[in-house]
Amino acid sequence: MNSLELVSATVKLQKTRRVPVIPQVFGHAAVLSGVSVEDYTSNGEMLAQCQLNALKHYGHDAVFSVMDANVEAEAAGCVLEFHKERYSEIIKYALSPGGQFLSPLVVPHPEKAGRMPEMLKALTILRKELGMNTMIFGCVLGPFSVATQLLGLEAALYMAVDDPARLEALTDFATDTIIRFGLAQLKAGAHAMLVFDPSSSPAVIPPNFFREFIFPRLKKTCNSFDQAGSMANWLHIAGPAAPILPFYPAAGVHIANFDYYISAAQAIKGLPATCVNGNIKPLAFVEDCPDAIRKESMDLMTAFLGRRGFILSSGCEVPLESRPENIMAMVGAAREFSNA
Amino acid sequence: MDKLITAILDGDSAMAVSQARQLNASGLSPEKIIIEGVEAAMSALDTKCTLEDFNLLEIMLAGRAVMEVTKLFWPSGAVKDSAKGTVVIAALEGDVHDLGKNILKMVLTGKGYNVVDCGKDCPLQKLADTAAAGRPLAVGLSGLITTVIPVVRQVKGALAARGLDNVKVFAGGAALKQSTPGMLNVDFVAESAFDVLRFLSGLGNGLG
């Protein structure tokens, strides 16, 4: 059973010989390879090579074509500033809350807009190199997260109350954008899709807002990916997400990330028949030592022993400046642990 | 006063301002309205926060109502001659995310602190110079990304270099709250803006 088969079986809650381990190595792959974050997030060939280097170094079970949280926003008109040692930031939003919008917005073409073509290039290279041996995740931002990137989080949240119809229209546009982008990624080589949706966290919006406003669009997105052959849809919502976990299966989520705010017991209770992954505190990969990471990994795998459907992972992305020996410790623990 | 409190908790800025205006017209001083209305509403929000039943949207809406009421009486947005003291806040250089800091500002203002906001992507020197000029009770650092941590660790040293050894430093935000005071070289790491209120209330007014 290779890595891809291992992850696939785990997603289906089948019994496996070991627990898959997927540290969320995104930009850290650039740091590991001695490449600037700016280059990594702008050049598909470099991104793919760094991901392959990280895979060879750590021996984990999946790679990601993830640049930063601003790919869709940039493609739709936001202006970014890039940095060598950290992720890009939006310096000008595509929209202003008081101004007219949507009429000038056109769903970005994944093969032409911003850095989207570079992400597709990375996926093509990764698929060529890894074939059906290791799972390759493409990535889109969640619908509401794209909306908040286009407008600014603060303005978008106020709009949810002050002018909900406008926010609905904007989020529908965002949904169309990520579906088109995600389908292009699956066509380019992604086996599965990561939906990264930080703005949908219950730390940001109430659970009933998630249910009424976000869930239908998330479901539409996941269904589109399913129809295009995605082997799994991974939803990543950080923070205290326990109240919204029960909505995930009906939305078409196959892998649910849970952050360090949520205990293993809460994840098991909230998602009894869905594969989950988590939840080592991201900063622990910077501040802690390998022994501590190893212990936490063992404790987590023990908590899920017999339950099936668990992928050992970080609660969110491992920070850029993570200590490689800590990631090695997590991967080593998964390989050492008996999943019998 | 109950109607003002309810309006703030509902995030209804227009109603909150209207109620505050009526209370003022009936003879209540702005200070009394802030203490018995706005601060009471913030205390109710604090209780909700402790129950882990809160989110940014609700706090932002309540905070916006608080800021509108504050502006009604003090157009600059700051409570004049705050007896509770001054707090200098910033998102440090390298971090352009300022929503957490903005919420902290609203919550602290609602509880009667004078808040000096150094903005986002703030150089360490600017923060320390602002603190030196403002005689603050504390300095607050908000951080969403871990790469800002090396700068956070330098804040106490920069304050000490300006003779501000006694000024307390606290940190919060998605990245910083994963750490500890020892690792960040600060006095307190807050889980939420309301956590900051509890920390500050434990300090007294610090103004002698």
Q: What is the pLDDT of residue A33?
A: 98
The pLDDT tens digits for A171-183 are 999 999 999 999 9
Q: Mean pLDDT over residues A6-25, rounded?
A: 96
Please count the other Cβ atoms lying within 10 Å of the Cβ belonging to residue A96: 12
Q: What percent of chain A is modeled with pLDDT above 90?
A: 92
Distance from CA of A13 to the nearest CA of B (A): 31
Q: Mean pLDDT over residues B38-44, rounded?
A: 87
Give pTM, 2 decimals. Answer: 0.89
Q: Mean pLDDT over residues B51-55, rounded?
A: 65
Is A144 part of a structural domain of the chain? yes
Determine whether the interchain pair B178/A281 forms a contact, defined as Cβ–Cβ distance below 8 Å: yes
Is A43 part of a structural domain of the chain? yes
Torsion of CA B143, B48, A171, A191, to 10 degrees: 70
Contact B20, B72 (CB under 8 A): yes
Q: Which residues of B touch A284 (CB under 8 A)?
A: 178
State how far the Cα of A73 lies from the Cα of A83, in Å rounded to an integer: 17
Q: What is the pLDDT of residue B207?
A: 42
Distance from CA of A136 to the nearest CA of B (A): 26
DSSP annotation of B122 reads B
Is A121 part of a structural domain of the chain? yes
Q: What percent of chain B is modeled with pLDDT above 90?
A: 56
Tokens 């990375």 belong to residue: A122
Count of domains for chain A: 1
Label residue A265 exposed, middle or buried (CB < 10 Å: 0-12, 13-18, 19+).
exposed
Contact B184, B153 (CB under 8 A): yes
DSSP annotation of B89 reads E
The structure tokens listed for A205 are: 């919006």
The strand pair at A233-236 and A255-258 is best described as parallel
* Pick from B23-32, B74-83, B117-126, B149-158: least confident: B74-83
Q: Which of B52, B64, B178 is closest, CB to CB, to A282?
A: B178
Disruptive mutation site among B106, B121, B178 for chain A (greatest number of A CBs within 10 Å): B178
- Which of B10, B56, B7, B60 is CA-nearest to residue B33? B7
Reported as half-sphere exposure (CB side, CA atoms, 13 A), residue A336 has a value of 11
Asked whether residue A154 carries a pLDDT value surpassing 80, the answer given is yes
State how far the Cα of B99 lies from the Cα of B103, in Å rounded to an integer: 6
Q: Which residues of B touch A263 (CB under 8 A)?
A: none
Q: Mean pLDDT over residues B148-175, rounded?
A: 95
Q: Which residue of A has its CA nearest to B101?
A: A154
* Pick from A53-67, A137-151, B89-103, B143-157: least confident: B89-103
Domain(s) of CATH 1.10.1240.10: residues in chain B? 2-73
* A206 in contact with chain B, both atoms CB, cutoff 8 A: yes
Q: What is the pLDDT of residue A177?
A: 98
pLDDT category at A340 given cuts 50, 70, 90 is low
The pLDDT tens digits for A212-248 are 999 999 999 999 999 999 999 999 999 889 999 999 9
Outline where chain B has alpha helix (H).
2-9, 13-25, 30-33, 39-50, 56-73, 99-110, 124-134, 149-152, 155-160, 181-184, 193-201
Q: Which of B61, B64, B146 is closest, CB to CB, to A286?
A: B146
The strand pair at A79-81 and A89-92 is best described as antiparallel
The structure tokens listed for B38 are: 């706005």
The structure tokens listed for B70 are: 């504050």
State how far the Cα of A235 lies from the Cα of A196, in Å rounded to an integer: 6
CATH number where A317 lies: 3.20.20.210
State how far the Cα of A11 lies from the Cα of A146, in Å rounded to an integer: 27
Asked whether residue A272 carries a pLDDT value surpassing 70, the answer given is yes
- Which of A241, A242, A151 is CA-nearest to residue A197? A241
Show the domain range for A230: 3-335
The structure tokens listed for A201 are: 């966290």
pLDDT category at B206 given cuts 50, 70, 90 is very low
Q: What percent of chain B is modeled with pLDDT above 70?
A: 91
Distance from CA of A87 to the nearest CA of B (A): 10
The pLDDT tens digits for B106-131 are 889 888 899 999 999 999 999 999 99
Q: Mean pLDDT over residues A268-284, rounded?
A: 96
Contact B178, B208 (CB under 8 A): no
pLDDT category at B177 given cuts 50, 70, 90 is very high
- Which of A85, A80, A44, A88 is CA-nearest to residue A65? A44
The structure tokens listed for B153 are: 């660790």
Q: What is the pLDDT of residue B82?
A: 67
**Chain-wide mean pLDDT for chain B?**
89
Tokens 């809650």 belong to residue: A13
Is A29 part of a structural domain of the chain? yes
Q: What is the pLDDT of residue B12?
A: 92
The pLDDT tens digits for A103-139 are 668 999 999 999 999 999 999 999 999 999 999 999 9
Q: What is the pLDDT of residue A98?
A: 74
Topology (CATH) of B86-201: Rossmann fold (3.40.50)
Angle at A328 between CA A324 and CA A330, to 5 degrees: 120
By residue count, chain B amounts to 208
Please give the CATH architecture assigned to the domain spanning B2-73. Orthogonal Bundle (1.10)
**Is the interface score ipTM higher than 0.85?**
no
State how far the Cα of B99 lies from the Cα of B134, in Å rounded to an integer: 23
Q: Tell me the DSSP string of A224-287.
A: HHHHTT-S-EEEE--SS-GGGGGGHHHHT-SEEEE-TTS-HHHHHHH-TTSEEEEEE-TTHHHH
State how far the Cα of A168 lies from the Cα of A160, in Å rounded to an integer: 8
Is A340 part of a structural domain of the chain? no
Is A153 part of a structural domain of the chain? yes
Distance from CA of B125 to the nearest CA of A (A): 21
Q: Mean pLDDT over residues B161-167, rounded?
A: 95
**Chain-wide mean pLDDT for chain A?**
95
Is A120 part of a structural domain of the chain? yes
- 3-class secondary-structure state, position B169: strand
Q: Name the more confident of B9 and A39.
A: A39
